[in-house]
Amino acid sequence: MMGSIDFVFLCSFTVSVIWAASLSPKTIEDSDPGFDLYMGYDNLEEYDNHPIQFDHPLPDWLKGSLIRNGVGRYEVGNRKVENLLDGFAKITKWTFPGDGTTSFSTKFLRTSFYNESMSSNDIAPYATLGPLDPPFTLEETLKALENGMDNPNVNVYNFTENIVVLYDLWIMYNIDPRTLNLQEKINADVPNAKMGFPYASPISCAHPLQEIGTEHHLTFLGSLALLPGLKHKLTLVRVKSSTDREMIAQWEVENMPYMHSFSVTKKYAIFLGSPYFYEIQRMLKNLNMADTMVWYPDKPTMIYLVELSTGKVQTLQTECMFTMHHINAFEMDDQHIAVDVSDFGEAGVFSRASVEVIRNQTLRNSLLKSQPVIKRYILNLKDNTVDVMKFPSPARLPFSSNFDLPTINEKYRGKEYCFVYGFSAMIDGINYSNSSIVKKDMCKNTTDRAWFMKHHYLMEAWFVPFPQGTAEDDGYLLTPVLDGENRKSYLAVIDARNMTLVNKAELPTTVPFNIHGRLFDL
């Protein structure tokens, strides 16, 4: 049962598009052409190393594989998922050999959940975030609770020698990056961490981070206390390989917060525990996993600052807020740390990500409005206080401080930086088909830029630095785009310096909305 909690993550996009409906009181004057190819609908096509052609030659230095995770199917046989976040995981890959050619692949992840569903022509009994239509029988429900969650459709990451697909659970899969086939399932032990009864330890993070200056990576483990009187535990974990883990610190929390990401500097790992809590009592009685978490708008956000060298944990408090994605953090001096995030304000949208709503334009535009705001939390380690800073937007780009799905130049991870790139939906306040990739200048606030095209649906971008680049923004942004009017997808190459489209390659099939991934050096 615990394994079904993870699917909360994919809501990040849903939250991003929801907020924009609040920007304008205008009525809907235009449709969203091609939205039925973008989100909430099936695309069953699969391709294996299909050649694609860019409009212009690619530079020889652009090598590797851009691999992204997402959702591609919501219905099997006569049964469908009702929650947008319960669709079957589908991986997409672009391979750049460095010889001027490019190939495209897309494939469903062959998990047990997927294989059993295809074999029975029905959605197999595994745990999901929301209900199904028609619902499981009692026997199927009990089997689903036994099987847990088996649908890692959020992120793709590399732990030194392995590439893994993962979500907000501790369990993950190795994949073969050449074939996109699943390999072994990983449920690694953490020596000295309390993972067994009276604790259940299903919770983790879809966004591990590299430990700066090392070949190791960092993630966390959430252990839920199953007995009254016990407190939950959070564990900061050093990942030396996909199976070799080391405990850095473990501390008790009164309430277990949902955390999709965190930040890291050279000295610290920083967690923002918003008051959106896993409720163990609800887990034991609710079949709808979206109801196992509760939002407390009157409680503060707890900040856990962990010193990497000693494991010492310092706790601070700040305003009630909710973030899915940390942007970056850096040490301003010995006593101050800046932590930048996209703040949605509240977490209430998680239980309302309905496929029925997404498929209906009128309902989409009437969803609860939740506007993400880019904020900087400045941690004062000396007096244990937190200051909150917002970033203004220029009048010409009023949405440039309102976005999610951020990416940065990873060379600046944990360091002082200026530029972040993010996804801003429905920028005209009318149509979801008008979205933008924003370039936010966190230093000057006057040079913000954006790239968008009418009726072109965008997704998260990935920053690829120029090999000989000297400036922070010397690089390309790679992102899939759906041309709604022509009902075709392409991979866009955007110059991050001036946010102009410099190259693109049309794809043999449309690519539904996918969220996270990166360019791997393969």
Mean pLDDT (whole number) for 500-513: 97
pLDDT in tens, 459-496: 999 999 999 999 999 999 999 999 999 999 999 999 99
Taking the model in full, what pTM does it have? Answer: 0.91
Residue 9 has pLDDT above 50, yes or no: no
Mean pLDDT (whole number) for 383-400: 94
| Residue labelled with tokens 């990873």 | 410
Residue 221 has pLDDT above 80, yes or no: yes
397 band by pLDDT with thresholds 50, 70 and 90: very high
Number of H helices, E strands in the chain: 6, 37
Per-residue confidence (pLDDT) for residue 17, from 0 to 100: 39
Residue 288, classified by CB atoms within 10 Å of its CB into exposed (0-12), middle (13-18) or buried (19+), is: middle
Q: List the structure tokens of 2.
A: 């615990």
Residue 283 has pLDDT above 90, yes or no: no
205 Cβ partners below 8 Å, 6+ apart?
Answer: 168, 219, 220, 259, 260, 261, 262
Q: In what order do the strands lie in the sheet with 64-73?
A: 47-52, 102-108, 88-96, 64-73, 514-520
Per-residue confidence (pLDDT) for residue 350, from 0 to 100: 65
145 band by pLDDT with thresholds 50, 70 and 90: confident
Per-residue confidence (pLDDT) for residue 407, from 0 to 100: 98
Q: List the structure tokens of 360.
A: 């209906």
| Residue labelled with tokens 């360091």 | 415
Per-residue confidence (pLDDT) for residue 348, from 0 to 100: 65
Give the 3-state secondary structure of residue 462: strand
The answer to whether 93 touches 106, Cβ cutoff 8 Å, is: yes
CA 119 to chain centre: 30
Instruction: Give me the long-range contacts of 462-471 (CB less than 8 A, separation at least 24).
Output: 462/66, 462/407, 462/517, 462/518, 462/519, 463/407, 463/408, 463/409, 463/410, 463/421, 463/496, 464/62, 464/519, 465/409, 465/410, 465/411, 466/61, 467/61, 471/497
DSSP string, 12-56: HHHHHHHHGGGS------S--TTGGGTSSS-----EEEEEE-BSS
For residue 254, give the amino acid letter: E
pLDDT in tens, 36-72: 999 999 999 999 999 999 999 999 999 999 999 999 9
Mean pLDDT (whole number) for 259-278: 97
Rounded CA-CA distance 170/458 in Å is: 30
Per-residue confidence (pLDDT) for residue 131, from 0 to 100: 86
Binding site listing: 207, 260, 325, 516
Q: Roughly how many angstroms between the first and final C-alpha of the chain, as a whole number?
A: 36
Mean pLDDT (whole number) for 370-398: 93
Rounded CA-CA distance 452/500 in Å is: 9
Rounded CA-CA distance 327/376 in Å is: 10
Residue 27 has pLDDT above 70, yes or no: no
pLDDT in tens, 358-369: 888 877 766 645
Binding site listing for Fe cation: 207, 260, 325, 516
pLDDT in tens, 168-182: 999 999 999 999 999
What is the enclosing helix (H) or strand (E) of 155? strand 155-159
Rounded CA-CA distance 459/477 in Å is: 11
Bridge-partner residues for 158, per DSSP? 163
Backbone angles phi, psi at 229, to 5 degrees: 95, -15
Rounded CA-CA distance 200/195 in Å is: 6
Q: DSSP E strands: which ranges in 226-321?
A: 232-239, 245-253, 256-257, 263-264, 268-273, 276-278, 293-295, 301-307, 313-318
State the chain's mean pLDDT as an integer: 89
